[in-house]
Every structure is written in C-alpha cells, then in structure tokens.
Structure 1
C-alpha cells in the first residue's frame, strides 16, 4: 500500500478559487461593520455637537480664563 502522489500542478489556482472569494467577503463585511458601528455614530456625534456650538461664546470663555497669551481679557 503506497501513498497517493501529492497534487503539485495547479495547487495554487485550486486553493485561490476557494480562498479568494472568502477573503473578499470577509473584508467587505468588516468594512461595512466598521462603517455602521464606528463612522456613522461619530458623524452623528459631530453633527449634534456643532448644531448647538457657538464659537464666539467659546472664544470669549477661553479669553476670560486666560488661555490665550496674546489676547487680553476685556476690561484690563
């Protein structure tokens, strides 16, 4: 009883026909999961933040707190 000869010719093509569609499917699925679990909530959070953000009010609060060295607080 002898062992069967290993298949050497066409082995890469045979393996790629099986593994390549799986690799593409997994990569597309992971990209979609990342998009809907990370980027969409992040975009929504930014939109909610900037919906009520007042840049002038924030600047005046930082100026009064002394954050800026080149801008003096009002009244000094």
Structure 2
C-alpha cells in the first residue's frame, strides 16, 4: 500500500511570501521599535508612585 504525497501549493505562493514580508517589515518591526523606544526611558518606580498617589492600589500606602 503506497500513500501519495500531497501536491505542493503553486498558485499564490509569491503573493503569500509578499504578504508575510510586508507584515514583518511593515508591522512587526515597527512594533518592536516602538516597544524598545518606550522601555528605553521607562521608570517603573516613577510610574508606581504616580499610580499610588492616584489611589489605584488599595494595599500600598
């Protein structure tokens, strides 16, 4: 008993790769850069103190 291999996808292959490349460079890389820029100057203790003063946390005084 021999099993036949599935035929490879040939139609729309280049379009699929183009869409993946667009997503990587158009969306993912910009998103990674935005996160890197945000966390480069982010001070978590300053943010915590602002939230504490605003009354967001009930257990921290």
Larger Rg: 1
Runs of 4+ in 1 over 6 A off after TM superposition: none
Q: Equivalents in 2 of 1:21, 1:30: separation in Å?
A: 16
TM-score by length of 2: 0.80
Q: Could you tell me which runs of 5 or more consecutive residues in structure 1 were left unpaired when the two chains were aligned.
A: 1-15
Q: Equivalents in 1 of 2:10, 2:26: separation in Å?
A: 24
Partner of 2:30: 41
Larger relative contact order (CA 8 Å, sep ≥ 6)? 2
Q: Which has the higher helix share?
A: 1
Residue correspondences, number: 55
Q: Over aligned residues, Cα RMSD in angstroms?
A: 1.7
TM-score by length of 1: 0.65
Q: Could you tell me which runs of 5 or more consecutive residues in structure 2 were left unpaired when the two chains were aligned.
A: 1-6
